[in-house]
């Protein structure tokens, strides 16, 4: 029973992703968005449980990837298409297909180059990309038309996320995050403050937090690139 516990959570992930698709077909974007977010929670736990119990397997890795493709590749694409990009007809569904294809490529690359000890992800993790889509749809759905975005914004967003998924930009994985003695209390305080912040307006709060995470990668690339250019200029002057 213990050995299949991670696979049970993976199945919950797959179920949530499939439910999100069904909700989109019923034009219930609110439930679809939350289903994708719940799928992310299950995806986080299945990997953590597998490593904690030392029951990781090749089967579990492949099953997890297939489930992720549904929950974080197909479901967000269909959600965004029905929510906004359907108005653009062929261009809309092609961009959504591009996003789904990039998620598949991202997962395939991860499977063949994965390093459990790595402190970073190569390319934007697919759950983070899906969370951005879900949180944005939830926020706009709750605003009930008080905030309207140009349809081309969604087109650019999906294209940008697709690029980040297959890019070589490094994102922190937080796998090596360990608390030292005496830091548990401060972590708890930080967690309570974060929970309070998110509870005020969950979709907006998640959108802000995830937006910061998504932009961390490009920012670090720009920062490192600028530093190298400045060092080269200084060397030439010397």
82 vs 188, higher pLDDT: 82
Q: Is 41 exposed, middle or buried (0-12, 13-18, 19+ CB in 10 A)?
A: middle
Q: What is the pLDDT of residue 218?
A: 85
Instruction: Give me the CATH number covering residue 87.
Output: 1.20.120.1760
Average pLDDT over residues 106-120: 77
Angle, CA of 97, 168 and 43, to the nearest 5°: 60
The per-residue pLDDT for 186 is 67
The packing angle between helices 75-83 and 151-166, to 10°, is: 160
Tell me: the pLDDT tens digits for 35-55?
A: 999 999 999 888 778 777 777
Run of H or E residues at 172: strand 170-172
Question: What are 46-96's pLDDT values in tens digits?
Answer: 877 877 777 778 888 899 999 999 999 999 999 999 999 999 989 999 999
Distance set, CA 154 to CA 31, 52, 100, 235 (Å): 20, 39, 15, 44
Per-residue pLDDT for 34 more than 80?
yes
Q: What is the pLDDT of residue 159?
A: 96
Q: What ranges in the chain are assigned the alpha helix state H?
A: 5-25, 29-53, 58-68, 75-83, 90-113, 126-143, 151-166, 184-200, 202-237
Q: Report the number of distinct structural domains present in the chain.
A: 1
Over residues 178-182, mean pLDDT: 59
Domain that holds residue 88: 5-237
């Amino acid at each position: 029973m213990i050995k299949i516990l991670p696979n049970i959570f993976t199945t919950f992930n797959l179920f949530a992703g499939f439910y999100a698709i069904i909700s989109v077909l019923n034009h219930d974007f609110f439930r679809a968005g939350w289903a994708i977010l719940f799928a992310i929670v299950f995806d986080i736990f299945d990997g953590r449980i597998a490593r904690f119990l030392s029951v990781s397997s090749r089967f579990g890795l492949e099953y997890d990837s297939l489930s992720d493709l549904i929950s974080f590749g197909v479901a967000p694409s269909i959600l965004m298409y029905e929510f906004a990009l359907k108005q653009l007809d062929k261009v809309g569904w092609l961009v959504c297909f591009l996003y789904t294809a990039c998620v598949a490529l991202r997962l395939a690359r991860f499977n063949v180059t994965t390093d459990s000890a790595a402190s970073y992800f190569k390319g934007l993790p697919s759950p983070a990309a899906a969370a951005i889509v879900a949180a944005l749809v939830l926020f706009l759905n709750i605003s009930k038309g008080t905030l309207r975005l140009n349809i081309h914004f969604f087109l650019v967003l999906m294209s940008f996320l697709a690029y980040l998924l297959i890019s070589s930009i490094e994102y922190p994985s937080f796998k090596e995050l360990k608390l030292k003695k005496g830091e548990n209390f401060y972590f708890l305080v930080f967690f309570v403050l974060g929970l309070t912040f998110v509870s005020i307006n969950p979709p907006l709060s998640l959108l802000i937090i995830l937006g910061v995470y998504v932009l961390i990668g490009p920012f670090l690339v720009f920062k490192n690139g600028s530093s190298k250019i400045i060092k080269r200029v200084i060397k030439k002057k010397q």
